[in-house]
Amino acid sequence: MTATVTPPALPLVSIITPSLEQASLIEQTILSVQQQTYANIEHIVVDGGSTDGTLDILRRHAGTPGFHWVSEPDSGMYDAINKGIGRARGEIVAYLNSDDLYFPWTIAAVVAAFAADPAADVVFGDALSVDDRSGRCVVLMHPPFHLDWVRRVGFLAQPAVFWRRRVLDRFGGFDASLRLVADCDFWMRIGAGARFRLIDEFLAIDRIHQEGLRAARSAALASELSTVRGRYVQMAGLVHVSRMAYDRVVAAMGRRIRWIRFAQASGRRRSSGPWGGLLGDRSIEFSRRAILLGLIPGLGRLVRAEAIRRPSGWFPAPRRSAGLGDHDSIDGAGAEVRDVQRSVRTTAEAADHEAAVEEDARLDQVAGGRRVGPDTQEGAGAVVGE
C-alpha cells in the first residue's frame, strides 16, 4: 500500500499595492502577480480614490482568487501601504508599487529562500530598471546587506524586498509621516535587529515611464532622505566622511564579486542555480561583451545598461492620457532614472562613482506608482471590492 504524502502547507504571501490615478499602468502590475508560478498569494490593492478608470480595472479583476481591493481617501502612499498591511494575512509580506512588476518566478524564489533559512527575517534580490520607451535595461545589483552602508549611503531596490510578518510584529510598519522615503527608513530601522538574506536572483522590474526629473521633487527627496539618515547616524564630521567612503568601497567590492559570479553563470544560462530565473528565460537576450566589460572598474555602471535586452513581450508601454495626469504633477510618483556617464580613473573613484549613480537613481525613483502627497478628497466614501 502506497502512503499518501501531504506536502507542508505553502505559506501565504501578501502583496500590497498602493495606487492613485494609475489606470495606464496598474493592470500590468496586477497581471505580474497573477502570473506567478507560486499559488498561495493574496494581492491587496489600496487605492486613494482614483477617477481615471483605475476602479474599472480593479472591478474587472475582483473575481480572481486572492485579489482584494479598496478605494478610499488616505494621507499618502505609506498610509495606504499600512492599511494594506493591516488587512494582510500572509506570513510573508511585501509591497509592489502600481508601476512595478514581478517576474513569474519571483515569489517562488522568495518562499524557497525563506524555507531554506528559517532565521532570515528579510529576503531581497536584484532588480532591473527598464525604460518603457527605449527598452533599455539597467541592472540594479545589490552588495551583501551592511547596516552602516544602508544608513549612510546605500539603498535597496524596494520591489525586490520581502519580509516575514514577525518583522512587522516587532518593528511596526512604515512611517506615514514621511512622503517619499519611508521604505529607506524601514530598512534602516529594522536592520538593527532583523536578519537580511541576499539571494542570487532578479526579483522585480522597476519601470521608467516619465519624461524627466523635476528639480523640486529631487530636492524634496534629498532633503527628506538626509533627515531620515540623520535619525540613525551622525551625518557630519570626519568620522562620517571616513565611514561613508569605507562603506562605498566595501559595497563596490561586494557588487563586483557578485557581478563576476553573474558573468560566470550567464555563460552557462541554466534555469537552476544562481540567477536561474532570468538566465533560464530564453526570450531574454544577453550581451556577453557588456557583461564582461562590466568587470572592469569604472565601466560597470556605464556598460551594464547594455548587458540585458528587454523582450518586447514583457509588457506594453503605458497608455498616455490626453490631459495632465497625476504622474505629471509635483506630487506625482513614478520610477525615473537619469542616465549618468562620468569618467572613472581608479578603483576608489569607481566606488564613489557607483555610489553617486546609485544615489541619483534612488532620488529619481520617486516612491513609485502613485501620488505621494496627502490626498484631498473630502467627503469621498470608501469603495471596497473583494
In this predicted model, what pLDDT tens digit does every residue of 307-320 receive, in sequence order?
887 766 666 555 44
- What pLDDT is attached to residue 348? 37
**pLDDT above 60 (res 170):** yes
Q: Pick the more confident residue, 134 or 173.
A: 173
- What pLDDT is attached to residue 27? 95
Residues facing 129 on adjacent strands: 138, 206
**pLDDT above 80 (res 330):** no
Cell of 5: 504524502
Tell me how far apart the alpha carbons of residues 186 and 81 are, in angstroms, rounded to a whole number.
12
CA–CA distances in Å: residue 236 to residues 50, 84, 233: 42, 37, 9
Tell me how far apart the alpha carbons of residues 276 and 141 are, in angstroms, rounded to a whole number.
15
**pLDDT above 70 (res 199):** yes
Tell me how far apart the alpha carbons of residues 123 and 236 are, in angstroms, rounded to a whole number.
31
- What pLDDT is attached to residue 189? 98
Global pTM reads 0.83
pLDDT band at residue 213 under the 50/70/90 scheme:
very low
Please give the share of the chain, as a percent, with pLDDT higher than 90. 58
- What pLDDT is attached to residue 380? 40
Least confident range from 35-39, 86-90, 121-125, 265-269: namely 265-269
Reference 94, options 194, 203, 14, 168; nearest CA is 14
**Superfamily name and number for 13-377:** Spore Coat Polysaccharide Biosynthesis Protein SpsA; Chain A (3.90.550.10)
Task: For strands 41-47 and 13-19, give the pairing.
Answer: parallel
**pLDDT above 50 (res 231):** yes
**pLDDT above 50 (res 336):** no
Tell me how far apart the alpha carbons of residues 218 and 382 are, in angstroms, rounded to a whole number.
32
**pLDDT above 90 (res 205):** yes
pLDDT band at residue 8 under the 50/70/90 scheme:
low
Name 309's Cβ contacts closer than 8 Å, sequence gap at least 6.
135, 137, 284, 285, 286, 287
Write out pLDDT tens, residues 69-87. Answer: 999 999 999 999 999 999 9
pLDDT band at residue 243 under the 50/70/90 scheme:
very high
Detail the DSSP E strand segments found in 29-84. Answer: 41-47, 67-71
Q: Pick the more confident residue, 382 or 170.
A: 170
pLDDT band at residue 340 under the 50/70/90 scheme:
very low
Dihedral, CA atoms, 308, 310, 311, 314, nearest 10 degrees? 130
- What pLDDT is attached to residue 382? 59
Q: Pick the more confident residue, 87 or 9.
A: 87
**pLDDT above 90 (res 327):** no
- What pLDDT is attached to residue 224? 93
Overall size of the chain counted in residues: 386
| Mean pLDDT for all residues in the chain | 81
- What pLDDT is attached to residue 208? 80
**pLDDT above 50 (res 344):** no
Tell me how far apart the alpha carbons of residues 283 and 286 are, in angstroms, rounded to a whole number.
10
pLDDT band at residue 384 under the 50/70/90 scheme:
low
- What pLDDT is attached to residue 346? 31
Cell of 173: 510598519
CA–CA distances in Å: residue 54 to residues 40, 70, 97: 25, 11, 14
Write out pLDDT tens, residues 10-62. Answer: 999 999 999 998 898 999 999 999 999 999 999 999 999 999 899 999 999 99
Cell of 190: 529594522
- What are the DSSP calls for 315-378, one per residue? -PPPP--SS--GGGSTT--EE----------SHHHHHHHHHHHHHHHHHHEESSSS--SPP--T
* pLDDT average, residue stretch 248-252: 94
Write out pLDDT tens, residues 148-162. Answer: 999 999 999 999 999
- What pLDDT is attached to residue 298? 72
Cell of 220: 524634496
Least confident range from 206-215, 277-286, 301-310: namely 206-215
Handedness of CA 14, 16, 17, 20 (dihedral sign): positive
